[in-house]
């Protein structure tokens, strides 16, 4: 088979966070496939076809992309952030595993991007400096009991926890439930970072204490990072946003 498929990470928003390798993959594609707002972030190119879909049908989109490639196209499937983090790369491989065996002869690549968690962390300091874990709070594709169990275990193990997909109009209560679980173990002063639309014009970063976080402060463009027991703030000046970091060494004392 001559077709090719590259699953490309566009980064969180700022075009300067797109890697040169990702730019090359986009520029050399005959066809772009992806959720509308992500395809919209790629500069138009004469002769390049754009196939825009909504955000709910990842597997259908993956099959469509594999089929295009099987017919000889050079396809770039675009994802926000990194395509391997709660995004299209896993959908493409799931479609590959369950689909037409001939698709396995295609040239398939994943082009990494900066995931939202890393961009959000960089804005405030180094909250992911110690051990951390990342979870999606979405229960569209997995049962809520699994989310609860993992979250309890992560908090119990004292990981910093980065939450993707914290809330949406279709999933209004999950973040509140998650915060309640976290507050059973972590103190009310634990730093929580709400990083919205990082790298986009409407970016907003807030650092709050766990005790004052409300689910309504987040939306579907928000990344929530909950500190471990060792995560701390460094105060700058009055009214300035503090730095937040998690020391690597357990020997460090405030």
* Spatial separation of the C-alpha atoms in residues 137 and 234, rounded to whole Å: 29
Q: Does 85 bind ligand SAH (CB under 6 A)?
A: yes
* Spatial separation of the C-alpha atoms in residues 12 and 20, rounded to whole Å: 15
Q: Which is nearer to ligand SAH, 194 or 228 (CB)?
A: 194
Site for ligand SAH in 15-74 (CB under 6 A): none
Q: Among 26, 87, 213, 225, indicate the residue that binds ligand SAH (CB under 6 A).
A: 87
Instruction: Provide, rounded to whole angstroms, the least separation between the CB of residue 218 and ligand SAH.
Output: 8
Q: How far is CA 251 from the centre of its chain?
A: 32
Residue 38 CB coordination number (10 Å): 22
Q: Among 91, 178, 195, 215, indicate the residue that binds ligand SAH (CB under 6 A).
A: 195
| Radius of gyration over every alpha carbon of the chain, rounded to an integer in angstroms | 20
Distance separating the N- and C-terminal Cα atoms of the chain: 60
Q: Does 198 bind ligand SAH (CB under 6 A)?
A: yes
Residues in binding contact with ligand SAH, number by CB under 6 A: 25
Assess contact for 14 and 80: CB atoms under 8 A: no
* Spatial separation of the C-alpha atoms in residues 20 and 43, rounded to whole Å: 14
Q: Among 3, 12, 34, 127, indicate the residue that binds ligand SAH (CB under 6 A).
A: 12
Site for ligand SAH in 105-124 (CB under 6 A): 115-116, 120
Candidates 30-38, 42-50, 104-112, 161-169; binding stretch for ligand SAH (CB under 6 A) = 161-169
Q: Which is nearer to ligand SAH, 12 or 227 (CB)?
A: 12
Q: Does 223 bind ligand SAH (CB under 6 A)?
A: yes
Q: Does 6 bind ligand SAH (CB under 6 A)?
A: no
Assess contact for 115 and 81: CB atoms under 8 A: yes
Site for ligand SAH in 202-221 (CB under 6 A): 220-221
Q: Does 225 bind ligand SAH (CB under 6 A)?
A: no
Category of 47 on φ-ψ map: left (φ > 0), alpha (ψ -120 to 50) or beta: left
* Spatial separation of the C-alpha atoms in residues 175 and 203, rounded to whole Å: 20
Residues that bind ligand SAH (CB under 6 A): 12-13, 79-82, 85-87, 115-116, 120, 164-166, 195-200, 220-223
């Amino acid at each position: 088979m001559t077709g090719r498929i590259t699953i490309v990470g566009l980064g969180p928003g700022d075009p300067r966070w797109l890697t040169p390798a990702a730019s090359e993959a986009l520029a050399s594609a005959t066809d772009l496939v992806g959720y509308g707002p992500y395809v919209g972030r790629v500069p138009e190119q004469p002769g390049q076809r754009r196939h825009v879909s909504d955000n709910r049908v990842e597997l259908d989109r993956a099959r469509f992309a594999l089929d295009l490639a099987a017919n000889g196209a050079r396809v770039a499937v675009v994802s926000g952030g990194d395509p391997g983090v709660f995004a299209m790369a896993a959908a493409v491989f799931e479609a590959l595993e369950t689909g037409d065996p001939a698709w396995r002869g295609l040239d398939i690549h994943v082009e990494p991007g900066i995931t939202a968690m890393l961009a959000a962390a960089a804005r405030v300091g180094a909250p992911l400096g110690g051990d951390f874990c990342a979870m999606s709070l979405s229960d569209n594709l997995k049962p809520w009991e699994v989310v609860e169990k993992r979250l309890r275990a992560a908090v119990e193990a004292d990981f910093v926890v980065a939450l993707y997909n914290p809330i949406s109009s279709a999933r209004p209560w999950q973040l509140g439930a998650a915060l309640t679980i976290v507050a059973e173990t972590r103190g009310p002063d634990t730093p929580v970072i709400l990083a919205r639309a990082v790298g986009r014009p409407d970016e907003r970063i807030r650092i709050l204490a766990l005790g004052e976080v409300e689910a309504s402060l987040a939306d579907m463009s928000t990344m929530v990072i909950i500190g471990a027991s060792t995560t701390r703030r460094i105060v700058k000046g009055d009214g300035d946003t503090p730095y937040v970091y998690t020391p690597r060494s357990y020997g460090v004392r405030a």
